[in-house]
Structure 1
Amino acid sequence: MRETPVLIVGGGYAGLASALFLAHQGVPCLLADRHTDVSLLGRARGINPRTLEIYRPLGLAESVKDAGRPFADEAGVARCASLVDDWQWIFDEEFPRTLPELTAGEFCLADQSTVEPILVEAARAEGAELWFGTRCESIAPDADGVTAELRDLATGEPRTVRARYVVAADGYRSGIREQLGIARPGLRELRHYVSFVIRADLSRIVTKRALFWIIGDPATGAMGAMASHALRDHWGIAIAYDPATESPADFTDERCLAAARRLIGRDLPVELVSKASWTEAVGIAERFRSGRVLLAGDAAHVWPPAQAMGANSAVQDAHNLAWKLAAVLAGRASDALLDTYEAERRPVALELAELTVRSQAARFGPDPEDDPADPITCILGQRYASAAMIGEGPTPVFGDGVEQVARPGVRAPHLWLDRDGVRIGVHDLFHDAFTLLCGPGGEEWARAARKVDGVRAHLVGAELGDVEHRWAERYGRDAVLVRPDGYVAWAADGEPDAERLADVLRRVLHA
């Protein structure tokens, strides 16, 4: 029997990010995924600034941005009857890629087929073990851990793994969630799609590249959607179908090629490269935790792909959970800390589910300007209320905008800092430990923090230059304790006290 502290089931964004973040925290982990390789389908192309902000201190931001270079000239969303007909631009073509007032992260277009290999390489470099071509057939949780029965799909060999915790990142139809009997109240399947990748030279037709094209008549329902691909002359297409009258098996290669030519609007050479089916649905698991098993990504929540919130939320789920698992497994926190994962991430999922349904309906309907989602607030303004912070947490999940004043439950306000002549964002400091940020004159607080195991201290305005002199405006406290995921846990004024700080940390960790 193989033993591991954490078994991760599923190798999409949620699973790979979990493996990466856990390994980065020093937690040995094993990932099992039934697929042998990443998909060629160009899914989940939007990397939002919060996700890139998370990748930055791990040294991955530049690699991810490089993966997005094929999409560097794309902007806006276009609607048309076919690609050769007039395009109606329904979203701002000049939406900003950078938000320097709010974050060092950026908007980046890099699809899943190019980002997943980056995460695979990074997770392995940090020490994670990844078993592809391996299916999880069942799990058996008990009071002390989970026994999982896996199978190598190439050899048929069974493998038994014993883990202290399992992260179920096995997607929309999560077998683990179903085995545990975790319901998704009100689950709605909105649309069913067949997606496929074609190879075609469209250089004489597509002279300006959109983020994607909605093709068809909005009065009767869009015929399909089309997007570029990281590979030259490759294009992704999604066609909706009615499961009451047909199935994915009805979409033969010939039918897909004919549909591609209709969407393009011209009879030209087209080659089919790959094909898959999927369901656009909305549903949130009633629980994100069942004892030693925690759900992440599509296993926990699913909603339409508007604003690319699904894939980014999967990464952010993993980021929220990884430091908590690391603290529990290291004996620094009690198991009760893991309850705050659901307390923090499920309310966000509930809000985003409603917003993305309405946003997607607006996009594909006759009035795209009715989109209710403010993407910047949805991305950078998520707020938590849980027992993993000291002080009353903010409500609701989203305020009127991105909150830029440090208080418990809020993403730490952005600062541009100078570290040894290099300009960094404040979130570059947060990744593997609690961080006590101290303002000018905070040397005594910093000295107190250095006496507390698991806390790193930084002096803003001294050791780190406050480039835009925003500390007083955005933090304005003697000391602010920030969690490894970049959220404020506690803020204080007054006499520095190492014992007081240690007690705060114990309370946050439920130690």
Structure 2
Amino acid sequence: MTTAHEHVPVLIVGGGLVGLATSMFLSQHGVRHLLVDKHPEVTLQGRARGINPRTMEIYRAFGVADAVNEAGTPFADDAGGVRCETVAGEWHWLFPPELPRAWPEHTAGTFNLADQNAVEPVLIEAARHNGAEQRFETELTAFEQDDDGVTATIRDRKTNETRTLRADYMVAADGRRSPIREQLDIAKPLQGQTLNFVSVIFKADLDQIIERRAILWLIVNEKIGVTLLATTAKHGRWGLSIGYDPATQSPGDFTAERCAEIIHGALGRDDIPVVVQDVTPWTQEVSVAETFRQGRVFLAGDAAHTWSPAGGIGANTGVQDGHNLAWKLAAVLNGSAAPALLDSYEPERRPIAQTLAELTELRQARRSGHNPEHDEIDDLHWALGQRYTSPAVLGAPYGTVFGDVLDLHGQPGTRAPHLWLERDGERIAVHDLFAHSFVLLTGADGKAWLEAADNVEVYRIGTAGENVELVDVESEFAHRYDLGTDGAVLVRPDGYVAWRAEPGTTDPARALRDALATILGQS
């Protein structure tokens, strides 16, 4: 049975973390869309693990940080990474449990160790609350695009009913193998070695051999080779990643009995009862697509870039892909921006992905002991120091993809520096303001900017005794933004500085109007 064509502004293909986050962002921007995914809503496999402070900062601005933190509660005591021959044997710290989980001087976000299947229900509920249509167990079976949009055929796997849709744009969040990317013939060349694993979810009482929970255990011994043990959200349920050589083995070789043998070898105890619940193969590779866009189709998350899971960088980067793209799609679809704004997606996100691919390889080598002399990657700078150079940023200095967070003062193309503020007696973070619209920040003497702006939100920031909309709780605005009292910075909905006006701007209304027109592709 085939039903008639219907129209949807955006079609998202893929209902993992990246697709669901993009759905949530679009729904809060008021963009009608449809998300489809061939799988059920939630699986046993945790897959991506760990949310960095920048992503939590974004979740906070979109009102889901509390729920995500609640999802991470079972992991609150996990800390540090362990290398050992067996879990019951002697441990050595790969990275110590004392590493900080927050950078309070730089962001209101904190590290959260929740895994993907704990966070996805939060994103599903938030998106649906704002009108998102999401269909699981529904697959994309065909698509073609032209200058005006994408025609897609989807099939309900339960009823076998097909629907033909017409979408203005399509977001491919359909994973590492991305059939959409393959059909578009977009190359995603491998960089370095490909590793193959099966992920085993099992039940076991390990309290007798684990005195404290770590984030992960890297287990290396002659009996089982290399495995990686991780906690899950449910007490007594664990995940073990087992490496294998596809030249001599296949995922089918890992029966429940064989997995139980390997688990006992990793634990160093054969007397602990083990119940294998799920076995799923996965591949670790480093690759970045040669382009993140073709026509009206955009790649996001693993469809655009994959690398080792070290540090949880992949999932966070994918969510931030969706965050970057969603506001631009919203602006184009509601008519406030020209389609040219979408040209900024690839030059902003692809250099980040390429650089992180290289950095995560170095991190993986260091933690596995293959390159121990190499310095650890600074999480602070890769999470908060990303820099954009694109037509959607005016005056961005050319330079490295990542800047020194301690030396960023609201330059165009960088994340707006963190501030604690007070509004009507309520303490907020400056990034709480950045979600749905452009925001202009100015100092206490910036009255002219209030009068100049009629299509952006404007806030004066100053001390409690001044006539301002936001009180600078820690008196850091002047230092962190380097603006004086009557300069201004224009911040995009994704929290990045788009433009800045130095003190003494003679015609604020015209300067702001011209800047916005250029940023939005209208000039």
Matched residue, 2:508 = 497
Q: Matches of 1:399 and 1:502 in 2, distance apart?
A: 29
Matched residue, 1:464 = 470
Matched residue, 2:231 = 228
Question: Please, which of 426, 431, 438 is the counterpart of residue 427 of structure 1?
Answer: 431
Matched residue type, 2:320: Q
Matched residue type, 1:330: N
The alignment status of 1:60 with 2:69, answered yes or no, reads: no
**How far apart are 1:2 and its partner, in Å?**
2.1
Q: Matches of 1:71 and 1:137 in 2, distance apart?
A: 38
Per-residue CA shift, 1:454-509, capped at 9, x if unaligned? x1111111211111111111112211000000000011032352232111101001
Question: Please, which of 280, 283, 290 is the counterpart of residue 279 of structure 1?
Answer: 283
Matched residue type, 1:495: T
Q: Matches of 2:451 and 2:475 in 1, distance apart?
A: 23
| Paired residues of 1:138 and 1:176 also in contact (CA < 8 A) | no
Q: Matches of 1:402 and 1:330 in 2, distance apart?
A: 37
Aligned partner of residue 330 in structure 2, secondary structure? helix
Matched residue, 1:363 = 367
**How far apart are 1:423 and its partner, in Å?**
1.7
| Paired residues of 1:328 and 1:335 also in contact (CA < 8 A) | yes
Normalising by the residue count of structure 2, what TM-score does the alignment of the two structures yield?
A: 0.95
Question: Please, which of 127, 131, 135 is the counterpart of residue 139 of structure 2?
Answer: 135
Per-residue CA shift, 1:378-413, capped at 9, x if unaligned? 111111111101113342101344543011101001
Q: Matches of 1:17 and 1:401 in 2, distance apart?
A: 26
Q: Matches of 2:388 and 2:117 in 1, distance apart?
A: 31
Q: Matches of 1:222 and 1:441 in 2, distance apart?
A: 65
Q: How does 1:474-485 map to 2 (within 5 A)?
A: 474-477=480-483, 478-485=487-494
Matched residue, 1:488 = 497
CA shift in 2, pair 1:421/1:353, >3 Å: same
Aligned partner of residue 370 in structure 1, secondary structure? coil
Per-residue CA shift, 1:94-133, capped at 9, x if unaligned? 1111111110111111111110000000010111100100
**How far apart are 1:370 and its partner, in Å?**
3.0
| Paired residues of 1:394 and 1:410 also in contact (CA < 8 A) | no
Normalising by the residue count of structure 1, what TM-score does the alignment of the two structures yield?
A: 0.97
Question: Please, which of 180, 200, 205 is the counterpart of residue 201 of structure 1?
Answer: 205
The CA RMSD over aligned residues, in Å, is: 1.5
CA shift in 2, pair 1:252/1:351, >3 Å: same
Matched residue, 2:306 = 302
Matched residue, 1:262 = 265
Matched residue type, 2:461: V
Q: How does 1:344-383 map to 2 (within 5 A)?
A: 344-365=348-369, 368=372, 370-383=374-387
Q: Bigger CA drift: 159-168 or 92-101?
A: 92-101
Q: Matches of 1:495 and 1:237 in 2, distance apart?
A: 63
CA shift in 2, pair 1:221/1:283, >3 Å: farther
Per-residue CA shift, 1:15-46, capped at 9, x if unaligned? 00111101111100100000012121122221
| Paired residues of 2:190 and 2:285 also in contact (CA < 8 A) | no
Matched residue, 1:147 = 151
Matched residue, 1:172 = 176
Q: Matches of 1:259 and 1:168 in 2, distance apart?
A: 36
| Paired residues of 1:136 and 1:150 also in contact (CA < 8 A) | yes
The alignment status of 1:506 with 2:517, answered yes or no, reads: yes
Q: Matches of 2:276 and 2:367 in 1, distance apart?
A: 27
Q: Matches of 2:252 and 2:142 in 1, distance apart?
A: 28
Q: Matches of 1:133 and 1:152 in 2, distance apart?
A: 6
Give the ranges of 4+ consecutive aligned residues of structure 1 lying more than 4 Å apart after TM superposition: 219-222, 366-369
Matched residue type, 2:240: I
CA shift in 2, pair 1:496/1:476, >3 Å: farther
| Paired residues of 2:365 and 2:371 also in contact (CA < 8 A) | no
**How far apart are 1:369 and its partner, in Å?**
5.9
The alignment status of 1:239 with 2:248, answered yes or no, reads: no
Structure 1's unaligned 5+ residue stretches are none
Question: Please, which of 73, 76, 86 is the counterpart of residue 72 of structure 1?
Answer: 76
| Paired residues of 1:90 and 1:369 also in contact (CA < 8 A) | no
Q: Matches of 1:227 and 1:496 in 2, distance apart?
A: 58
The alignment status of 1:50 with 2:54, answered yes or no, reads: yes
Per-residue CA shift, 1:113-165, capped at 9, x if unaligned? 11000000001011110010001112101110000111111111111111000
Matched positions, count: 507
Q: Matches of 1:68 and 1:215 in 2, distance apart?
A: 25
CA shift in 2, pair 1:222/1:401, >3 Å: farther
CA shift in 2, pair 1:245/1:222, >3 Å: closer
Matched residue type, 2:256: D
| Paired residues of 1:189 and 1:279 also in contact (CA < 8 A) | no
Matched residue, 2:465 = none
Matched residue type, 1:64: V
Question: Please, which of 32, 35, 41 is the counterpart of residue 39 of structure 2?
Answer: 35
Q: Matches of 1:221 and 1:107 in 2, distance apart?
A: 32
